[in-house]
Structure 1
Amino acid sequence: MNSILVTGAGGFLGRAIVMDLLARDDRVVALEAGDCAPLVALAEKTSALTVVQADVCDGDAVDALFSAYRPRAVVHCAAVVGVLASLEAPRQLFRVNVEGAINIFEAMKRHGVGRMIHLSSEEIYGEFDTDRIHEDHPQRPLHAYGISKAAVEHLGRSYRSTCGIECINIRTSWVYGPNFPRDRVPLNMIRAVVRRQPLHVSGGATERIDHTYLDDAVAGVIGALDCSHHPYDAYHVSSASAPSLAKIAAILAELDPQAPPISVGSGPWLHAGNVAMPCKGALDCRRAREVFGYRPRFDIRAGLAATLEGERRALHKGEGIVYG
């Protein structure tokens, strides 16, 4: 039982976690339902990585994986992500996010695996009551994605009380970085700068969102995984700040004075053009700092600068993202 199982290992955050674990000489079992080619290519270079192509919704396949590899812990990233998915495919979202999590919990129970790090979300809160919130803020999720993440958190508490499984929930917020696979702020702004294309975001100038740079999200997950004792089962891992979209556009103009105009209109930020985003803000990360030493290294300026550089390298190599 020396390996760590990472579910959703081919995703944006899952793959970064796999890379970090391998870099420190952990053995990793990577579970991915989609395209496994990049993971397989990586596994050909190191015996520390095993790739299993299977769906978390397939309970038999999940159980077989636990039987074969006996992981000592699970980092559960596999999920259908985001508000747009909530609006477009809520049944599939609940199937993957909730039924898939139950399959993992059940396999952990059968095979004696005691700890899961679950990637949760600020979407569990719905509308923020204040500009900065703590983990005990009321949970009033508005869409299927946030509801599913809250459900998995509560399922984790049930499995803890009935069979001793420890489910630690890492609540991130709008994780971003180079090669992010969706066309969402701030990536659409960054890519407009890199490609020298003007961009007007139709609304949300005053919307304040806690954007979390990828490396900080990974550091928070690894810190929680390594922590020997958790007095809480939920932690914020974010930048601990919430710049407005207008501020982000202004910072990009400062980082690249030759950038084309990037502007943000007044009014609300709309998902799919017609669903307003609830009022958000910053996540207070003091609990994670006190328990396992989490400190975000990337404020919004540093994160935008690092993402700009990564996107420039990708464009130079002809590796631009193709959106589906």
Structure 2
Amino acid sequence: MSDYVLVTGGIGLIGNAVRQRLEDRGDKVVAIDRVAATIDGRQVIECDVTDAHGLHAIARRYPIRAIVHCGAFSGPMVSPDHPMQMIRVNIGGTANVGELARILGGIRLVFASTATAYGVTPDGPVREDVAMEPDSMYGASKAASEQILNAYRRQFGVDTVSLRLTWVYGPRRTTACLIRQMLTDALAGRTTRIPYGRDFPRQYIHLDDAADSMIAALDRPDLPQQAYNISGGNWLTLSQVADTVMRAVPGAKVEVAAGDDPGDIRQERFDIAAAARDLGYRPKISLEDGVKSYLSWLKANGAAA
């Protein structure tokens, strides 16, 4: 393929993983982020998604055949005290990317959304037609971004699709992650003490499965839905997650107290049947295997020190 896939958020966890998969299979990629960088020998160009002129300059320089939009403040724990910045980057940036896709014409735009956009859910399984009632600015920014892209699809025919990802864990995650905390504590010989969550459910997905779902959404033509739930296929309490870590990592010790996670919302199991049907998506990495591979990466990258 002669034209490029534009990946926004190229320094980020999912954007970098998507970019690697695309290039490794032979696609040409232009990755952008708010600062320039080189990751594993791969260049990321400086271009903030809030800079509409910069985005169009990138498109003039690199003919674009598709867009994977991962550029955003990622996670409810990021910049919670700066809601206007969240709106400017997440919503304004998505509008800029949608407008770029409209002007370019005839391209697929895949958006990394989040299951947090649902807010507290009704009883599961939770399908994509459940109303989104987010209770954080992060969730609201992603829900609003989805609606903007849906409007671009309905009014202008832009080929957009949003993937509502659950909690992503794995190599290079820099924001708060209990699995990483458990593993780094185990490597240091410490007991992890979590002051909540014994019966609190969380649906983790390994980075590799998340990236694979983005590639599948990029490749599949004529998708019948505008949004898809993407999870790792599990619905476990944090106590069960801790038990999995202790099985997978000899010597790991994790204590989990009762109570809900004060930084998260209670959600029922997400139904991923539509993603299986339309994207061919099925999670490949069990939590235990994912924990083991994450531990190996942490060891190789100095976490044991």
TM range (shorter): over 0.9
**Contact between 1:71 and 1:113, CA under 8 Å: does it hold in 2?**
no
| Paired letter, 2:267 | K
Of the three residues 95, 98, 117, the one matched with 1:124 is 117
Shift of 1:169: 0.4
Shift of 1:236: 1.3
Residue 4 of structure 2 corresponds to residue 11 of structure 1: no
- Where do residues 203-282 of structure 1 align in structure 2 (5 Å cutoff)? 203-259=196-252, 261-271=253-263, 277-282=264-269
The residue aligned with 1:24 is 25
Of the three residues 286, 290, 297, the one matched with 2:277 is 290
Identity score, percent:
29
| Paired letter, 1:65 | I
Shift of 1:316: 6.8
CA shift in 2, pair 1:193/1:21, >3 Å: same
- Where do residues 1-324 of structure 1 align in structure 2 (5 Å cutoff)? 2-38=3-39, 41-43=41-43, 51-85=44-78, 87-259=80-252, 261-271=253-263, 277-315=264-302
**Contact between 2:184 and 2:304, CA under 8 Å: does it hold in 1?**
no
Q: Secondary structure at the match of 2:236?
A: coil
Shift of 1:137: 1.6
**Contact between 1:208 and 1:242, CA under 8 Å: does it hold in 2?**
yes
Structure 1, unmatched stretches of 5+, are 44-50, 272-276, 319-324
Rounded Cα–Cα distance in structure 1 between residues aligned with 2:292 and 2:98: 39
Rounded Cα–Cα distance in structure 2 between residues aligned with 1:148 and 1:252: 33
Render the CA deviation track for 1:231-277: whole Å, top value 9, x for unaligned: 11111121121111101111111122322x21111111122xxxxx3
CA shift in 2, pair 1:110/1:121, >3 Å: same
Rounded Cα–Cα distance in structure 1 between residues aligned with 2:47 and 2:71: 11
Rounded Cα–Cα distance in structure 1 between residues aligned with 2:170 and 2:88: 28
Shift of 1:315: 2.2
| Paired letter, 1:15 | N
| Paired letter, 2:14 | L
CA shift in 2, pair 1:221/1:164, >3 Å: same
CA shift in 2, pair 1:129/1:86, >3 Å: farther
Rounded Cα–Cα distance in structure 2 between residues aligned with 1:243 and 1:257: 21
The residue aligned with 1:274 is none
Rounded Cα–Cα distance in structure 2 between residues aligned with 1:236 and 1:125: 11
Rounded Cα–Cα distance in structure 1 between residues aligned with 2:302 and 2:77: 27
Rounded Cα–Cα distance in structure 2 between residues aligned with 1:156 and 1:115: 11
Q: More displaced, 86-95 or 115-124?
A: 86-95
Shift of 1:132: 2.8
| Paired letter, 1:313 | A
CA shift in 2, pair 1:317/1:34, >3 Å: farther
User: TM-score, normalized by length of structure 2?
Assistant: 0.95
Q: More displaced, 97-106 or 177-186?
A: 177-186
Render the CA deviation track for 1:137-162: whole Å, top value 9, x for unaligned: 22110000111111111101111122
Render the CA deviation track for 1:84-129: whole Å, top value 9, x for unaligned: 2362221111111011111111122222252210000001110011
How many pairs were matched up?
304
